[in-house]
Amino acid sequence: MSVKRRLYISNFLMLVLPIVLMIAAGICFILIYAGMAGIREAPPFKQGDIMFKRMEKVKTLAASWGSGKNREGIEADIDAFNKEYEDRGLTLSLYEGQHLLYPATQDHNRLSGVDLTQEEQFMLVTDTFSVYRIKAGPYGVVLTDTHFTVDGSSKSRQQLYIGLFSIVLLVFVVIGTNRILTRFVFRGIMNPIHILSHGVHQLRDGNLTYRIHYEKQDEFASVCADFNEMAQHLYHMVNERQRDENNRRELIAGISHDLRTPLTSIKAYLEGIEKGVAATPQMQRKYFDIIKHKTASLEHLINQLFLFSKLDIGEFPLHLEAVDFDQELRQTMAAFTAEYELKGLTILVVDPIPQGEVIMDVVQFRNVIQNILENSLKYRNKEQGKMVVAAVQEEDMIKLRLSDNGPGVSPGELEKLFDVFYRSDASRKTPDLGSGLGLAISAKIIQRLGGEIKAELAPSEGLSIIITLPKHAGEEGAKHEKHTDY
């Protein structure tokens, strides 16, 4: 159940329960009032008042009967009286001494222990009935009241007790209902908060793989999903930061090593010239050529570092234009085919090449192709290597694949090939194989062109570099042409 529904139900009950409780409390107070009033108005109070009033009437009748009224008239008055008060428990009887004269149907057993022969009037109240006796000439007139008893307030006390018990019960019901509603509402809120708090503490303590498993479909479900997504992003960010830190260390180590090696050679050859080791002009010329070559290597390394840093921070301008991909690829490969054939790498272009325009910087795109060719050439394990170039179109993308027949790399190294200063020669004992910046620069250029580059193991042998570029789409391509620093 959602929190919103819990709140709706709680608010509804908060509105309804007071009304129900007010009604119940009203009934309780009525019972209490009725009980108290019943005790106050019960016999010998209320019913006693009725009894006393009837006693006055009986006195009047007795006075009239004692003045010489005949028997038939007396019996008629008794019948009229009993008929009038039969629903109130009052009964009028005519006695002579202890003998019942009229009415004959009157139950005389309850008066068997009462002395009715006294000359003076009297009144007797027991726990089951009350009796009033008065003299009427030769007869005794007896008024019996079964409602006027010394225990007549028991019913009223019962009502009072019920009312008081109901009040106490009502208090417990209010307290219990309040606790139930509180748990009903707040449990649905506090439990997810505790779950989220525990998750936050897990992330705080460094457990970035912790995920919340929340199965309820309420408002907190989206919050928990967002928490898991945040934890996932944080996990990737920390890993990326660690990776960047490792790359930075490798970069510093790589730069130090690759700069120190040619500098050490230059220093050694200069000392040889200075100390006369190169005594002949031919030896001096050889030393100078070596120094020139090492200086050129340093210059190339510094230029590569400069280009990579500019690409990395996005300050290297790209001169974008819409070019025909088929024509550009063929021209680029034609320019490299003869050069690399002599170096020991045969380039084979597989037809057909997809038609269509691509937004690119032609110079930098050729640098990317050259970096891949140089990498394949340097690491070939055959006298004559081979590079197969093929391209296919997938929806609005063109995928270019360059596959060689070299030694390839291990599967674990595929993702590292585009890291700066990475070389499969981990010990860097063969610096002549390159600085490890070529593929890193290529990756930055392709990313700036809006594409992606990755490495795969070739189906048979060797390594495949796959470049994916978006096709030019009319006005969108025109926009790219306007922004030369894409």
Q: DSSP assignment of 137-150, as one string?
A: TTEEEEEEESS--T
Q: Which helix (H) or strand (E) segment is 52 a member of?
A: helix 46-66
Please give the Cα distance from 369 to 357 (Å, whole number).
18
pLDDT of residue 12: 67
Cβ(103)–Cβ(79) below 8 Å: yes
pLDDT of residue 60: 84
Cβ(148)–Cβ(44) below 8 Å: yes
Please tell me which of 72-81, 225-234, 277-286, 414-423 the model is most confident about, judged by mean pLDDT: 225-234
Query: What would the pLDDT profile of 165-182 be if each residue is shown by its tens digit?
Result: 777 777 777 777 777 766
Closest CA to 348 of 309, 389, 313: 389
Pairing of strands 345-349, 385-394: parallel
Per DSSP, 471 falls in state B
Q: Which helix (H) or strand (E) segment is 221 a member of?
A: helix 219-274
pLDDT of residue 480: 44
Query: What would the pLDDT profile of 419-464 be if each residue is shown by its tens digit?
Result: 766 655 543 344 454 556 788 888 888 998 999 999 998 877 889 9
pLDDT tier, 42 (very low <50, low <70, confident <90, very high otherwise): very low
Q: What is the mean pLDDT of the chain?
A: 79
pLDDT of residue 439: 85
Q: Which helix (H) or strand (E) segment is 243 a member of?
A: helix 219-274
pLDDT of residue 94: 85
pLDDT of residue 478: 43
pLDDT tier, 389 (very low <50, low <70, confident <90, very high otherwise): very high
- In this prediction, residues 8-32 reach a mean pLDDT of 69
Q: Which helix (H) or strand (E) segment is 452 a member of?
A: strand 452-457
Q: Look up the pTM and report it.
A: 0.49
pLDDT tier, 481 (very low <50, low <70, confident <90, very high otherwise): very low
Q: DSSP assignment of 33-47, as one string?
A: HHHHHHHHHTTTTHH
Amino acid at 166: S
Class of domain 228-308: mainly alpha
pLDDT of residue 113: 77
Q: Please give the CATH number for the structural domain made up of 317-482.
A: 3.30.565.10
> Percent of the chain at pLDDT above 70?
80
- When mean pLDDT is compared across 65-69, 298-302, 419-423, 481-485, the lowest value belongs to 481-485
In the CATH scheme, what architecture does the domain 46-145 have?
2-Layer Sandwich (3.30)
Residue 359's DSSP bridge partners are 322
Query: What would the pLDDT profile of 187-228 be if each residue is shown by its tens digit?
Result: 667 788 888 888 899 888 988 898 988 887 777 788 888 989
Per DSSP, 273 falls in state H
pLDDT tier, 476 (very low <50, low <70, confident <90, very high otherwise): very low
> Percent of the chain at pLDDT above 90?
17
Question: Which residues make Cβ contacts (< 8 Å) with residue 277, sequence separation at least 6?
Answer: 271, 283
Terminus-to-terminus CA distance in the chain, angstroms? 51
